[in-house]
């Protein structure tokens, strides 16, 4: 659908669909306005599309680029019966966005933002990031033969830095938190003619997240799950996934009730979870969390995330810092998937939702695995160990306690 208007999600002020992400009146997030009176999308048209997020191009604010079939998205949805049994839920599916090109869901949002940057004729891709977004922006810029400039908090995990510099991006380590980086880049946006994906292109960038909801419905046979569980950082992923379910419902593409959305934050940076628990607006906090990928102290969509949780009948819950690692290990040992810190927070929130009765033993649940644990291996609690042995079968049999 052609988009020529952006609308504020708070005050509903409208603007031309240019490279801008924030309302001038209330500073709320802007989003594309689609023409829902003349939709051309059907189940059949979607199924005939490429095996990527661009199969939903009619519901995105940018045209599918060349090579759409090799783009991010259409990631696996796999059953995790052992983990479901351990948690006490009916069915549990893992949505593996760690299967994307740079191993996180950020490839989705960057794909849409980059397509829009090309349409706008912007020649440099940029972002402020805690790691995953840096990887995705650098990789997409390399594929498009564009320069990339990334701003990250100084002291970022070396695994995430290596997965960004490998693509030739220029990285600046800012002495401060993610929120300090965000303020710096927001000010910089007025002085450079760049595509800063989570600043001036945020209106389009955020739309990529709703394709997770589209894929889940399609992969479940055009049905909705009962519950979707996601980590919460800025709140954009959480709110856009909900919006995706509503859009499919509006178009008559899916059956079943609207899912409950459950969000998780690590206790060391839980402004949304704390505000949800206290039934108030979000207040900024200073991040102090091992789950660095979602450690955003002043979340742009925090209040919208709370409204989404309430509207869906779900919730946003805080997870103790010392439970993040054990949750990562539980997922690995029972589901065979190594997730990052954000996934540890999401799984912790699911456990809390079960404890509170928000999620029950008959529910069909989808847990979003938004990134790979290989980027933050230090968070996992490793249960196995390496035992060195001689290349001698008798020695190995003796070590195993097996009598030849």
What is the rounded CA–CA span in Å between residue 295 and residue 165? 22
Q: What confidence score (pLDDT) does residue 335 get? A: 96
DSSP state of 22: B
User: Per-residue pLDDT averaged across 192-204, rounded?
Assistant: 94
Residue-wise pLDDT for 40-98, tens only, equals 899 999 999 999 999 999 999 999 988 877 789 999 999 999 999 999 999 999 999 99
Asked if 343 and 328 count as a contact pair (C-beta separation under 8 A), the reply is yes
- What is the separation of C-alpha 207 from the centre of its chain, rounded to a whole number of angstroms? 12
Q: How much is the pLDDT for 381?
A: 75
Band of residue 320 on the pLDDT scale cut at 50, 70, 90: very high
pLDDT score of 138:
96
Pairwise CA distance, residues 206 & 209, whole Å:
6
Mean pLDDT within 249-255: 95
Place 39 in a pLDDT band, splitting at 50, 70 and 90: low
Are 269 and 285 contacting, i.e. CB atoms less than 8 angstroms apart?
yes
Q: Among 101-110, 148-157, 322-331, 336-345, where is mean pLDDT lowest? A: 148-157
With CA atoms as reference, report the closest residue to 21 among 224, 182, 177, 129: 182
Exposure of 91 by Cβ count < 10 A (0-12 exposed, 13-18 middle, 19+ buried)? middle
- What's the CA gap between 376 and 290, in Å, rounded? 9
For 392, other C-beta atoms within 10 Å of its C-beta total 9
Query: Helices H, strands E: what count in the chain?
Result: 14, 13
**Strand, coil or helix: 143:** helix
The predicted pLDDT at position 404 comes to 67
Asked if pLDDT for residue 263 goes beyond 90, the answer is yes
Question: What is the structure's pLDDT at 210?
Answer: 98
Burial class (CB in 10 A: 0-12, 13-18, 19+), 159: middle
pLDDT of residue 31: 93
Q: What is the CA radius of gyration of the chain?
A: 21
Here the tokens at position 211 are: 């394709």
pLDDT computed for residue 383 by the predictor: 67
Q: Secondary structure of 298-324 in the HEC alphabet?
A: CCCCHHHHHHHHHHHCCEEEEECHHHH
User: With b meaning 16 or more CB within 10 Å and e meaning fewer, what string describes 32-63?
Assistant: bbbeeeebebeeeebeebbebbbbbbbbbbbe
Which two structure tokens, joined as six digits, stand for 185? 């880049």
Burial class (CB in 10 A: 0-12, 13-18, 19+), 8: buried
Q: CATH assignment of 77-103+207-379, given 1.10.3720.10, 3.30.450.20, 3.40.50.2020, 3.40.50.1100?
A: 3.40.50.1100
Question: Quick one: pLDDT band at residue 354, thresholds 50, 70, 90?
Answer: very high
Nearest to 327 by CA among 54, 79, 87: 87
For residue 258, give the 3-state DSSP assignment.
coil
CA-wise closest residue to 218 among 191, 254, 246, 250: 254
Res 13: pLDDT: 95
Q: How far apart are CA 186 and CA 180, in angstroms?
A: 10
Whether the per-residue pLDDT at 1 is higher than 70: the answer is no
Q: Using one digit for the tens of pLDDT, what is the confidence trace for 223-232?
A: 999 999 999 9
Q: Which of helix, strand or coil describes residue 341?
A: helix
Cα-Cα end-to-end distance for the chain: 70
pLDDT, position 178: 84
Q: Would you say 188 and 150 are in contact if contact means Cβ atoms under 8 Å apart?
A: no
Which of 238, 323, 300, 309 shows the shortest CA–CA distance to 277? 309
* Mean pLDDT (the chain, rounded): 94
Half-sphere exposure at residue 294, Cβ-oriented, CA atoms within 13 angstroms:
37
In eight-state DSSP terms, residue 362 is T
pLDDT for the residue numbered 38: 67
E strands present in 213-349? 227-231, 260-266, 315-319
- Tens of pLDDT, residues 98-118: 999 999 999 999 999 999 999
Average pLDDT over residues 298-308: 95
Banded pLDDT at 299 (limits 50, 70, 90): very high
Q: What is the Cα–Cα distance from 89 to 359, expressed in whole angstroms?
A: 7
Sorted by where each begins, the domain ranges of the chain are: 1-38, 77-103+207-379
Give the tens place of pLDDT for each residue, 162-188: 889 999 999 999 998 888 998 999 999
């Amino acid at each position: 659908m052609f988009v020529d208007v952006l609308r504020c999600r708070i005050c509903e002020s409208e603007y031309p669909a240019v490279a801008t992400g924030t309302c001038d009146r209330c500073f709320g997030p802007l989003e594309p306005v689609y023409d829902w009176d003349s939709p051309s999308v059907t189940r059949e048209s979607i199924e005939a599309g490429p095996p990527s997020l661009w199969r939903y191009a009619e519901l995105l604010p940018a045209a599918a680029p060349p090579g759409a079939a090799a783009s991010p998205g259409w990631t696996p949805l796999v059953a995790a019966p052992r983990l479901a049994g351990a948690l006490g839920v009916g069915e549990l599916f893992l949505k593996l966005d760690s299967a994307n090109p740079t191993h996180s869901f950020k490839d989705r949002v960057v794909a849409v933002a980059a397509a829009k940057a090309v349409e706008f004729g912007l020649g440099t891709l940029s972002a402020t990031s805690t790691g995953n977004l840096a990887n995705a922006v650098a990789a997409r810029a390399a594929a498009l033969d564009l320069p990339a400039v990334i701003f990250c908090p100084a002291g970022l995990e070396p695994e995430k830095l290596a997965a960004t510099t490998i693509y030739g991006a220029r990285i600046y380590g800012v002495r401060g938190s993610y929120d300090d980086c965000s303020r710096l880049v927001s000010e910089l946006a007025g002085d450079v003619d760049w595509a800063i994906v989570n600043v001036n292109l945020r209106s389009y960038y955020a739309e990529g997240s709703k394709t997770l909801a589209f894929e889940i419905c399609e992969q479940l046979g055009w049905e909705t799950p009962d519950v979707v569980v996601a980590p919460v950082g800025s709140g954009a992923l959480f709110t856009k996934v909900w919006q995706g379910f509503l859009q499919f419902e509006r178009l008559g593409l899916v059956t079943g009730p609207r899912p409950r959305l459950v969000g998780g934050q690590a206790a060391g940076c839980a402004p949304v979870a704390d505000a949800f628990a206290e039934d108030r607006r979000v207040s900024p906090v200073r991040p102090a969390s091992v789950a660095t990928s979602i450690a955003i102290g002043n979340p742009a969509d925090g209040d919208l995330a709370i409204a989404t949780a309430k509207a869906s009948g779900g919730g946003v819950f805080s997870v103790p810092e010392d439970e993040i690692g054990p949750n990562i290990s539980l997922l690995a040992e029972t589901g065979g998937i190594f997730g990052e810190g954000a996934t540890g927070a999401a799984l912790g929130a699911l456990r809390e939702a079960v404890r509170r009765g928000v999620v029950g033993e008959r529910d069909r649940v989808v847990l979003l695995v938004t990134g790979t644990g290989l980027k933050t291996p230090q968070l996992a609690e490793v249960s196995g160990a390496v035992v060195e042995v001689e290349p001698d079968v008798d020695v190995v049999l003796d070590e195993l306690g097996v009598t030849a």
